[in-house]
A and B are shown apart, each in its own frame.
Chain A
Amino acid sequence: MIENQSIYLALSVVLFIIGAAGAVCRRNAIVVFMCIEIMLCGVSIAFVTFSRAHHSLDGIFMVLFVMAVAAAEAAVGLAIFVLMYRKHGSIDLDKFNLLKW
C-alpha cells in the first residue's frame, strides 16, 4: 500500500465512469472518441498506482502500450470520421446506422 492509494483508485474510477457516460450520451463521433480517451486515462492511472504500490514496472509498460494503441486508434478513427463526413455530411452517430442490419 502507498499513501493515498484509495484516492488515486477513486480518481481512476471516476474518470472511467465519466468517459463511459459521455460515450453513451453524446452523439458527435469526435466527442465519443475523446470520451474513450478519458476512459483510457482512468485505466492508466489505476495501472500506475498498482505499479507503484507493488514496486513493479509492469503497469508502466502496460500504460506505454495503451498510449501506442491509442495513437494508432486516433489515426485510423479520424480517417474513418473524415470518410463518414464525406459520405453523409455529418458525423452524428445516431444517423450512422449502416451496419445495423
Chain B
Amino acid sequence: MELVFLLICGGLAVISSLLVIFARSTLHSALWMVFSFFMVAVIYVLLHAQFLAMLQVIVYAGAIMMFIIFAVMMLNLRQERDVKVNARISKVVGIAALLVLFLELMLVSLGNNLNAIQGPITDTLVATHGRVAVISNFLFADYLLPFEVVSILLTAGVIGAVVLAKRVK
C-alpha cells in the first residue's frame, strides 16, 4: 500500500516538476510548483514525518509560493519564448555534467552499502510521547543555538527585502 502511494505521488511530483520547467507562462510554472510541493508533502507523510508535511504545506505551498505568485503578478511579465534549450556550449556542457552526476548519485543511492546506525528515536518512544513532543524536546535542547540563529537570519532577510525593494526618492 505504501509502495502504491509512493509510486503515484512520486511520479506526480516528478511530472509536475518537469512541467514547472516546460510550462510556457511563469504563472503556470508557479501553479505546477504548488502541486509538486503538495506531492512532496505526501512523501513526507509516507516517511512518518507528519510535522514536516504540515510545515511543507504551510511554509512552501502557502508562504513562499504566495511570494512568488505575488512577484509574478507585480512584474507583469510577457510570455517568454525561452522554453527551447539554447544550443550554446555552456548549456550543453552543463546538461552533460548533470547526466554524469545523475548516474553517480543513482549508483550510490541504489547501492546496499548504506548501513543503518540506530539512533535514539525508536517507534515506541514516538508512540508514548507523541511526535511533536519528541521533536520539540530535541529542538529546544540540542538545537537551540541553530534555532535562534535561524530566527535572526529570517528577521535580517525580511528587513533586507524591505530595504531593497523600497523606492529611493
Contacts and interface: CB of A to CB of B under 8 A. Distances in A.
Given A45-B40, A72-B154, A78-B68, A27 B80 contact: yes
Contacts of A57: 119, 121, 134-135, 138
Interface string B66-108: 0110111011010010100110000100110010011001100
B128 interface: no
Nearest to A59: B49
B21 A82 contact: no
A72 B77 contact: no
Interface in A46-99: 46, 48-58, 60-61, 63-65, 67-76, 78-83, 85, 91-92
Interface of B, secondary structure class, is helix
Contact of B116 (A7, A8, A17, A54): A54
A37 B60 contact: yes
B88 to A, nearest CB: 9
B44 A48 contact: yes
Contacts of A76: 157, 160-161, 164
Nearest to A5: B114
**On chain A, which size bracket covers the interface?**
35 or more
Interface of A: 1, 3-22, 24-28, 30-31, 33-35, 37-38, 41, 44-46, 48-58, 60-61, 63-65, 67-76, 78-83, 85, 91-92
Interface of B: 2-3, 6-7, 10, 13-14, 17-18, 20-21, 26, 29-30, 33, 36-37, 40, 43-44, 47-49, 51-52, 55-56, 59-60, 63-64, 67-68, 70-72, 74-75, 77, 80, 82, 85-86, 91, 94-95, 98, 101-102, 105-106, 109-110, 114, 116-122, 134-135, 138-139, 143, 146, 150-151, 153-154, 156-158, 160-162, 164-165
16 contacts: A3-B3, A11-B10, A13-B106, A15-B40, A16-B105, A17-B98, A25-B91, A28-B26, A41-B60, A54-B117, A54-B119, A61-B146, A69-B153, A72-B154, A74-B67, A76-B160
